[in-house]
């Protein structure tokens, strides 16, 4: 697992219907001048940093897994870590 902890740009979809767990879907992000397209939302869960609400998104691009955090107060996206899908 690689720790990143960097602010990133994210394109997010807000769906009107579908599974309750996937009504918000970060579709793609830009990181190190690369665009990564997400194919699956593994899990989204809220947590707190003091009284600040943080939404944690565990995303996958089909190969690697990415942990993103959305700060609901500052309205920022941060890429926390990347888990390589390489099984070796």
Partner 1 sequence: MKTDNSVNARWGQLGINPEEAQIMHIDLNSAFATIEQQARPSLRGRPVGVTNRISKNCCVIAASHEAKSLGIKVGMGLMEARLIAPDLFMIESDPPKYHWVYKKLCAIMKSYSPNVVMKSIDEGIIDFHGTRKTINKRPLEDIGMEIKQRVKSDVGKWMKINVGIGPNRFLAKTASNLHKPDGLDKIDHSNLKDVYRSLKLTDLTGIAKHYEARLNTVGIFTPLDFLNASSNTLRKQVFHSVIGDDWYQRLRGYEVDDGSTKLGHIGRQFVLDIRTNDDSVILPRFHYLCETVGKKLRFNQVDARGILVWMILDTSSQTTHLDAVQGSKEERTSRIYNTSSERQMPADTVMRQEPVSATSSAGWQDQAVRSSGGEYWQMRKMHKSTFYTDKDIYTRALYLFNQRPKLPVATIGVTCYGFSPTNRAQASLFEDQNKQEWLTEAVDEINERYGIFMVHSLNTLEGKKIVRQKIPAFGGSKYFELLLERA
The dihedral built from the CA positions of residue 68, 40, 26 and 29, taken in this order, carries a sign that is positive
Of 7-15, 26-34, 46-54, 71-79, the segment contacting partner 1 by CB under 8 A is: 46-54
11 within 8 A of 28, measured Cβ to Cβ: yes
| Phi and psi torsions of 39, nearest 5° | -110, -20
Does residue 37 belong to the site contacting partner 1 (CB under 8 A)? no
34 binds partner 1 (CB under 8 A): no
Number of residues that bind partner 1 (CB under 8 A): 25
**Which region among 4-12, 24-32, 56-64, 72-80 touches partner 1 (by CB under 8 A)?**
56-64
- Kindly state the tokens that stand for 8: 């990133």
């Amino acid at each position: 697992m690689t720790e990143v902890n960097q602010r990133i740009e994210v394109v997010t979809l807000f769906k009107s219907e579908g599974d309750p767990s996937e009504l918000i879907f970060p579709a793609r992000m830009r990181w190190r001048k690369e665009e990564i397209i997400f194919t699956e939302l593994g899990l989204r869960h809220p947590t707190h940093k003091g009284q600040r609400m943080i939404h944690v998104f565990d995303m996958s691009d089909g190969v690697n897994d990415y942990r993103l955090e959305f700060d609901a107060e500052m309205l920022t996206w941060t890429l926390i870590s990347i888990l390589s899908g390489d099984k070796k």
